Amino acid sequence: MSNVVHNRPVVKPDTRQRVLEAIAKLDYHPSRVAQGLRQQASRAIGFLVLDPNPRWPADPLHAEVLAGMSETATKHDYSLLLDRPPGNGHLTARELLQPFRSGQIDAAIVALAGTSDSHQHALDALNQAGVLFAVLEREIEGECAYSVMGANEDGAYAATQKLLRDGRRQIAFLDSTQMWPAIELRLNGYRRAMREAGLEANILISPSPDWTSAGGAVAMHGLLERCERKGLPYPDAVLAGNDVLAVGAMHVLRERGLHVPGDVAVIGFDDFEFARYVDPPLTTVRLPAYEMGKRAAELLIAHLEGRPTSQRRHILPTELIVRQSG
């Protein structure tokens, strides 16, 4: 019976035929739950989002990653389980491991919020438990740990250099009080480019309260006000932590009568769908989010099927997409 369902060649053709008929007649459906219990494997991978913001799927980047994961999981007949931390977002190791221990998932893709060290204990716990996982946008080491990243630092470096080449000198960076590992890397790239250009003194960072466009507007607002208060000149360029922030920032600039890119150049990050449709079309650093989701899922599934990939650190290239905003 089991041998028939799984197409194993140890059954005589006519026996197989009989069994198949019975299956059809009884409208039999194998229970994946029972299979899971017996085989100690659920054929499901989890998406563990360590972000207290319940609206995280609405972030275009997360959505793209999710789409890539889902596509790949389906292709390999794996299920995808969405898992969020209950409540406040501060996880104990126990909570994190729960879906593994309870047999719900065989592996997980982990998306972090917060600074890169804030969830170190969580990753340590995963490692110590010996479970299989892939972390997005974050270096990680461990027996069964993969990491899938975009070239965030390179991208931010290239974007800053482009602005410098265009003669911009007062280049500001928009980040957020809600930290996020990729942003640290982007900041690093920005800082390095400024330092190498001898403009360390011009480094200027303004935080958004969150990762929405409304937050981006707040950050831009704060930036301009700070300049006014201190009698500093306005920045002549802004590198935004991501496109969503950039959109809000451009809105504020327009409201203030500042021309983009004439007065202030703006470059975003991610190249989300709407980047080319805002006015002016947004120059940005493309991050291959969909591909990252795919890659992470592929690595985990290959590992689960006995084909672990020796390369644990996967960095997908970013690309500067020059449009008209900067």
User: How far is C-alpha 73 from the geometric centre of its chain's CA atoms?
Assistant: 17
> Residue 229, interface with DNA (CB under 7 A)?
no
Residue linked to tokens 């069964």: 144
> Residue 34, interface with DNA (CB under 7 A)?
yes
Q: What DSSP character marks residue 117? A: T
Query: Taking CB within 5 to 8 Å according to partner kind, which of its own copies, DNA, none is near residue 42?
Result: its own copies
Q: Which is nearer to DNA, 97 or 183 (CB)?
A: 97
**Which residue of 103, 209, 222, 308 would you call a contact of its own copies, by CB under 8 A?**
103
Q: Which is nearer to DNA, 31 or 74 (CB)?
A: 31
DSSP secondary structure, 162-222, as one string:
HHHHTT---EEEEEESS--HHHHHHHHHHHHHHHHTT-GGG-EEEEESSSSHHHHHHHHHH
CB 111 within 8 A of CB 62: yes
Q: Helix or strand or coil: residue 148?
A: strand
Q: Which is nearer to its own copies, 93 or 164 (CB)?
A: 93
**Which residue of 15, 74, 92, 309 would you call a contact of DNA, by CB under 7 A?**
15
In angstroms, rounded to a whole number, what is the distance separating the alpha carbons of residues 206 and 218? Answer: 9
> Residue 7, interface with DNA (CB under 7 A)?
no
> Residue 277, interface with its own copies (CB under 8 A)?
yes
Per the rule left: phi > 0, alpha: psi between -120 and 50, beta: everything else, 251 is alpha
**Which residue of 20, 21, 30, 121 would you call a contact of DNA, by CB under 7 A?**
30
Query: Taking CB within 5 to 8 Å according to partner kind, which of DNA, its own copies, none is near residue 104?
Result: its own copies
> Residue 145, interface with its own copies (CB under 8 A)?
no
What residues have CB less than 8 Å from 67, skipping those under 6 apart? 290, 293
Interaction residues for its own copies, span 31-50 (CB under 8 A):
31-34, 36-37, 42, 44
Q: Which is nearer to DNA, 99 or 114 (CB)?
A: 99
Footprint of DNA on this chain (CB under 7 A)?
Answer: 1-3, 5-6, 10-12, 14-16, 28-31, 34-35, 37-40
